[in-house]
Structure 1
Amino acid sequence: MRWRSIASGLIPIVAPTGGTVAMPAAQQAEADKPIVCPLSAPYRTDNAFARILRHEIPASIIAENARVMAIVPIDWKRPGHALVIPKAPVRNLYELSDRDMLAVMRMAKRVATAQQRALGSTGFAVQQNNAVSQHVCHFHLHVIPNTAPDPRSNPTRAEMDAIARRLKAALPPG
């Protein structure tokens, strides 16, 4: 039987007919990776997002206010992919205050609207990982437009800055 790891343990992969099915190799490889940000890990003030929020390292900033920052990630899935990061030092959803969650979601909505206006996106996905697949131990949301995939996945700083400028210009008031 094939197993898939999740934050609370392992679950079998079962077909709708009741039999088991093989997990695609890429998914199994992802499932077998160690958890980078376990829920029990302490918050580290030297994580990449904390340093970006303090403007210690460069980022392609789309928008920023007193509670959150939206940036273009260095490993985008599609052009226009954005991260919305609360300024509060929290590792995961469990630690995020309701007030900060509202600020994050409001910014995510503004970014999604900008993706539609600037890039012609007709939809988007909002993704958030806790522990499994979370690579920076600071809560953040991915707002991923349905633009054409970019096979390179690692844009240049100039490309990231250009997308950030386009999205910033298309942001609704907020």
Structure 2
Amino acid sequence: MNTLGRMLRLTTFGESHASMVGGVLEGVPSGLILDMDFIQAETNRRKSTGIFTTPRQEEDIIELVSGVFEGKSTGAPIGLLVHNQNVRSKDYSNLKENFRPGHADFSTFAKYGIRDYRGGGRASARESVIRVGAGAIAKLLLKQQHGSYGGVLVWGDRGY
């Protein structure tokens, strides 16, 4: 799936071993203050850290390349980019003839008829960095326009 959403619509592009991953976020009204420190902090939260995740480490510096002027949204589609820096496609050469169990390699091949064994292509978790950046912008929209905050509400007798 390359596009999702209705009110806010995100179309993503790029692959794990391409020069970048990116997206176009449509539906953001003009005048939204785009706090890059917040957007980057949210993006940094998705980095892999555990022993059962990828050892690949990326800086994940998110850039807003369109739809922004002087730190505010213009109402035009917002372009998000993250450059891939730690790309070592030759590390995947042993997968050229074999599908990885539990990965979308085979289903992607079955659907599109092309085999990109270098890190999963569009099916890589790397592609999620743009979804997280767009989600951070959506959080800013909710907070600035609707005063939305998360929390837990206890209603009624707690029974202690």
User: Which is greater in Rg?
Assistant: 2
TM-score for the superposition, normalised by structure 2: 0.33
TM-score using structure 1 length: 0.31
